[in-house]
Amino acid sequence: MSARPAGSLIVSAPGSRLEAERAKDIWDMSQFGHTGRLHFTAINQPWLRAAAKEWAIEDLLHHRGATVTSTMQAHVAALAELSASLHSHRSDHGLIVGELGRSDIDAFLQRLAFRQHQNKISALSRSMICRKAHHTLRQMRLFGLARAGRPLSGLPADFELRPQDVPRRPDALPPHRALPEEILGQLCDALPLLRTRTNRVLATAVELLIETGRRPSEILQLSWDCLARDHDDEFVLVYDDIKNNRAGRRLPITQGTATLLAGQQQSTRERYPQVPTSELLLLPSAQQNPIGCRAMSRKHLGRAHREWLHSVAQLRRADRSTYDPDTITLYSYRHSYAQRHADAGVPLDVLAELMGHELLSSTQAYYHVTEKRRRAAVDRLADHQFDRHGNEVWRETQALLDHEHARHALGQVSVPYGTCREPSNVQAGGSACPFRFRCVGCDHFRTDASHLPELKAYLQDLLRDRERTLATTDLDDWAKDAALPSHEEIRRVKELIHRVEESLDQLTPAEQSDITAAISAVRRSRRPTDLGMPIIGRPINPGPSMEDS
């Protein structure tokens, strides 16, 4: 179907096959280019059922992919809940359109709240029913279904759900369920097991989900020629954003992901040597697919994925507690991809483009999680800060800690192996130290365990510079004396490293685990990242890792 402006409904010739299907209360979705059946039978009022059908016809223009029918059925089910409410509490059972009003919406909301109180529906179900009913009724009006002669003609304007009527999703169910790094690493390590348990196509599909963060339907519908190069000769994945009807999207990928795609291209080409590549899918179904143009089903992929998860040795978090594999879905890898990039400091607009989000609010949620984690990590390390002498500096008030967070959010000035509080240097962004960056001799200097790698590197630089300066004959004595790192500075740095490591050794194993996790979170927020899949647990993609060595 070709796209047309919103509000222009599909018109079928009287007596045509589509017209006959539209008149039914159970649609065979193959007549509209999709799979499954769409049921309207649970909607009691003829006017609401007719409006639901016209809404469905119009909405079909804006969606593609294997989940269209189930997605639309969920919206129709929300209207069925509204229909049941009208039928039960009104004497006319909601049959007279012009008699409806805000009180009927209030009754619908109260009915859902009562059903949740009786544990007949969950808080999440209540929220989603309201959300979908709100969306569908709003769309119906936008499509012109309240005009004269249309199904909602005469429907009062106050018969609508307002945004504030929709209960928020319960906090216990976060909207973005990214996998912990250590769990994703263990799954990556177990990918060879997936390759031995299933065929290559299934294994490649899961690997691509992990590495690219695309939706399952987008991976399953990849064309054979999805691997391309951008204008800068870097590899990109060409895919269709099916959910938002945006074809030909280009995602930057790493060399490792490109190698995986090229291998799958070769395998598919060998399987279907006579079929033009322009007609092939990258991941064709192994069943009833003689010409390679039929994609494997998401159900089949999901079943293989579930069996693999249960075959993997017990998954454990960083604190050694077990992780339930039943909470991991195909979509978990998309959340993990987004969270990984948000944690690495990828700008909001860049990540929104990577994810194909039309609303920045969808992407922003990952940054809320990032900030929460980062703040917890800074809180943890704040109790283990050291001054220039290697003495632990304990925070005195929560207000001071809040100030530290504010400075961090604003780009707190840092030296390569700690932080600087000297006012003029902070104001200059770290480029105007009045003491020529003699940090380990300055009372404005602070460091913590997250800077240990830099402290050790700095010590090696000092030792190297001292040997080089002593050996040179190219400097005058006064210049050599100025350039020569002093024994005292070297001693101070050695002592500082020793005190930090000694403090860590005195912690319990559980405290050490907490500090290690906090260090990882804080260090990750300091580092840039590329836009590809980082190395996690296996050398699948060459290049720099987002993990700290």
Residue linked to tokens 């001071």: 400
Q: Are 150 and 286 in contact (CB under 8 A)?
A: no
Q: Bigger pLDDT: 183 or 344?
A: 183
CB contact set of 89 (below 8 Å; sequence gap of 6+)? 104, 107, 111
Q: What is the pLDDT of residues 36-59, one digit of tens each?
A: 899 999 999 999 999 999 999 988
Q: Are 221 and 240 in contact (CB under 8 A)?
A: yes
Q: What is the pLDDT of residues 402-443, one digit of tens each?
A: 445 444 444 456 776 777 877 777 777 667 788 777 788 888
What confidence category does residue 231 fall into, taking pLDDT thresholds of 50, 70 and 90? confident
Q: What is the pLDDT of residues 300-354, one digit of tens each?
A: 899 999 999 999 988 988 778 899 898 899 999 999 998 888 877 778 888 888 8
Phi, psi of 356 (to 5 degrees): 75, 25
Residue 467 is encoded by which pair of tokens? Answer: 């040997």
The arithmetic mean of pLDDT across residues 182-205, rounded, is 87
User: Is 90 exceeded by the pLDDT of residue 286?
Assistant: no
The arithmetic mean of pLDDT across residues 228-237, rounded, is 89
The arithmetic mean of pLDDT across residues 381-393, rounded, is 64
pLDDT for the residue numbered 398: 43
Q: Are 219 and 212 in contact (CB under 8 A)?
A: yes
What confidence category does residue 373 fall into, taking pLDDT thresholds of 50, 70 and 90? low
Average pLDDT of the residues of the chain:
80
- Distance, CA of 83 to CA of 93 (rounded, Å): 9
Q: What is the pLDDT of residues 247-265, one digit of tens each?
A: 888 998 988 899 999 999 9
For the CA atoms of 59, 61, 62, 65, the dihedral, rounded to the nearest 10 degrees, stands at: 100
Q: Are 245 and 65 in contact (CB under 8 A)?
A: no
- Distance, CA of 203 to CA of 191 (rounded, Å): 8
The helix (H) or strand (E) run that includes residue 21 is helix 17-22
The arithmetic mean of pLDDT across residues 69-79, rounded, is 92
Q: Are 474 and 368 in contact (CB under 8 A)?
A: no
Q: What is the pLDDT of residues 391-405, one digit of tens each?
A: 766 544 344 444 454
- Distance, CA of 136 to CA of 79 (rounded, Å): 8
The arithmetic mean of pLDDT across residues 125-139, rounded, is 93
Q: For CA atoms 197, 202, 206, 211, give the dihedral sign.
A: positive
What confidence category does residue 528 fall into, taking pLDDT thresholds of 50, 70 and 90? very low
User: Is 50 exceeded by the pLDDT of residue 172?
Assistant: no
Q: For CA atoms 349, 351, 355, 361, give the dihedral sign.
A: negative
User: Is 50 exceeded by the pLDDT of residue 4?
Assistant: no
Q: Are 11 and 146 in contact (CB under 8 A)?
A: no
The helix (H) or strand (E) run that includes residue 251 is strand 246-252
pLDDT for the residue numbered 421: 76
- Distance, CA of 415 to CA of 421 (rounded, Å): 10
The arithmetic mean of pLDDT across residues 177-188, rounded, is 88
User: Is 50 exceeded by the pLDDT of residue 549?
Assistant: no
The arithmetic mean of pLDDT across residues 466-493, rounded, is 87
Fill in the DSSP letter of residue 414. E
Per-residue DSSP letters for 288-304?
Answer: S-TTS-SBPPHHHHHHH
Per-residue DSSP letters for 172-204?
Answer: TS-S--PPPHHHHHHHHHTHHHHHHHS-HHHHH
Structural domains in the chain, sorted by start: 17-165 (no CATH), 181-371 (1.10.443.10), 383-526 (no CATH)
- Distance, CA of 420 to CA of 437 (rounded, Å): 10
- Distance, CA of 297 to CA of 320 (rounded, Å): 36
Residue 375 is encoded by which pair of tokens? Answer: 């703040």
